[in-house]
Structure 1
Amino acid sequence: MTTRRNFLQKGILGVTAVTLTSIPSAFAEPIEQAAAQTDAFKLGIAGYSFVNFNLDASLKMMKKVDVHYLCIKDFHLPYKSTATEIAAFHAKLKEYEVTGYAVGPIYTKTKEEIDNAFDYAKRVGVDLIIGIPAHADLEYVAQKTKEFNIRYAIHNHGPEDKLYPNAESIYKLIKNLDQRVGICFDMGHNKRDGRDSVADLQKFAKRIFDMHLKNVTAATKDGSTCELGRGIIDIPAFVKMLRKVNYKGSCSLEYEKDMKDPLAGIAESVGYFKGVCDAGR
């Protein structure tokens, strides 16, 4: 578990890295070289983090924490949105320098609902759906990924989820399907199911298309989500593994604590993640 002392040390390292980059170049060539390194993955926010807020309020929070990628939820952009409404939505995101890179999670129980999900993604203009389909519909999902050339990432939800509790449960079902069917790796729920999320990231990396970035208080059903630097998942080790497997998708923070007043926790989590990334370069 990350202790308060370790958290402060990592935070100081992150602040130090930022501060040192302002030193004149004559004295800071090694720092400039480190700063020039960029990760293949990008930091985003899962739209569910803003379930209690309208789009404007959500984007204002994203601007405050300097995050520029959003996984779109239907409460911000309804499934039946018109082309005009979708254009207005993207224009609003552009005002805040935010890109909507995927839609979901979308729960489906029928083939018709799967059809609607793919049609929605196509109209929104994204190439990734985060979804939770029935096991019986997985072959149909794979057919749709071919038809639309849109990837589909199945989300795991921990021990309560009878369909997809962890990443391995998804992989076993999709490993022989079209390569455009993959995993939205919820590292926190994976840990709550008693799994090693760092090891599973490495094991299933080739089929992980998206990630819900979170930490949890315990590796049990009763574990709750918390600020990224305060839980039992070793985030520095996780970032190191992201780099080792050359993960190129989004790490979208899904903040589920204090959801009616999330800004402080989101800001702490974003700052911690950025500090870990900077310190590890």
Structure 2
Amino acid sequence: MKISSRFFAFIAALLFVTSAWAHPQLGLQTWTCRHMSFEEVVQFAAKQGVTQLELFKGHINPAAPREENLKKLAYLKKHGVTAYSIGVSGTSMDKEKNRQLFECAKLFGMKVIVIEPKDQAQWDMLEELVQEYDIKLAVHNHGTGTVYGNPATVKHVLAERDERIGVCMDIGWVTAAGFDANEVFINYGDRVFDMHMKDKRLDGEDAKGRPLDTHIGLGNSNYLQLFESIRESDWSGVMAIETDSPDFQNDPTEFVARAKVFFEKHFPGSH
């Protein structure tokens, strides 16, 4: 049986598309633009060519009237931008208050909520909401001395929980806490649902004694090996550009533009 050249062309195209799907997506954590209004940050992202937003609490209120958030959803659609997540979101022992997060995520079509529960007693209740809504939770890490600053603590939480509970890996803070981002990513396996693309320098500190933020790719985070592992694992989540630097946040234009160039250099064709 003779196989036509069209068949091989179809297979090649299919493999190309499949490969493209496996790339990570570029996003923006709107904490980076915390001095902007919701409308301003949506316009900013659209202008920068970044279509995936993780909204921090200054840009979205889960307890707001439904009509208010529907207007925000319409504004996002108008500008071709998607709110893929909300975080880092506060949680408590009040289940109905936590439910507001899930209802908000459901309204926006979000598949993951980023949280950092200070009290680990909340996990039973949060797991129940994950199972009820079928929306993932991703625990975020900050630096040394915080609840989830050590990846071993996070792994312990994951081992006991629904597989829809995973990680939002903040690459900069992983580095600042003294861990290798690539090794941490590999060790988490398939439980990394989201990443904050941030970089830290370990040769200096800010006024609060924290490692300094820098342009992504210029700090001590092990991005080269991490990107290689991302490609090898076909990880296709969102890497959200983020900075804690007040200097960058005053005008994040250059910071975001340079981060986008850095990302696209390593993942050409990703959006």
| TM-score, normalised with respect to structure 1 | 0.81
SS of alignment partner, residue 195 of structure 2 = strand
User: Does 1:276 find its partner at 2:228?
Assistant: no
The equivalent of 1:213 in structure 2 is 197
Q: 2:235 aligns with which of 234, 238, 247?
A: 247
**Preserved contact between residue 166 and residue 189 of structure 1 (Cα < 8 Å):** no
Q: What RMSD, in angstroms, separates the aligned Cα atoms of the two structures?
A: 2.4
Q: In structure 1, what is the Cα distance between the partners aligned to 2:43 and 2:145?
A: 33
The alignment of Structure 1 onto Structure 2 pairs a total of residues equal to: 247
Aligned match of 1:27: none
- 2:184 is matched with 200
How far apart are the structure 2 equivalents of 1:35 and 1:121?
32
Tell me the CA shift for residue 253 of structure 1: 0.9
What secondary structure sits across from 1:217 in the alignment? strand
CA distance in 2 between partners of 1:151 and 1:272 (Å): 28
Structure 1 residues 1-281: aligned runs within 5 Å: 37-38=19-20, 39-112=22-95, 113-133=97-117, 134-161=119-146, 163-218=147-202, 222-257=210-245, 258-278=248-268
SS in structure 1 at match of 2:259: helix
Structure 1 stretches of 4+ with a deviation exceeding 6 A read none
Q: SS of the counterpart of 1:114? A: helix
Task: Look up the equivalent residue of 1:122 and give its one-letter code.
Answer: K
CA offsets per residue over residues 32-75 of structure 1, 9 Å max, x none?
9x997524321101121111101222123212321110012232
CA contact (8 A) 2:181 2:222 kept: no
Aligned letter for 1:136?
A
The superposition leaves residues 151-197 of structure 1 with CA deviations (integer Å, 9 ceiling, x where unpaired) of: 11110111141x11143321212212111111111111011111010
1:263 partner letter: T
| Distance (whole Å) between structure 2 residues aligned to residue 64 and residue 275 of structure 1 | 19
TM-score with structure 2 setting the length: 0.83
> CA 1:100–1:235 in structure 2 vs 1: closer, same or farther (change >3 Å)?
same
**In 2, distance between residues paired with 1:66 and 1:236?**
23
State how far apart, in whole Å, the 2-side matches of 1:224 and 1:166 are.
19
- Seen in structure 2, the aligned counterparts of structure 1 residues 166 and 273 have a Cα distance that, compared at 3 Å, is farther
Q: Contact (CA 8 Å) 1:171, 1:183: kept in 2 or not? A: no
Q: Structure 2 CA distance, aligned partners of 1:185 and 1:217? A: 17
Identity rate, percent: 22
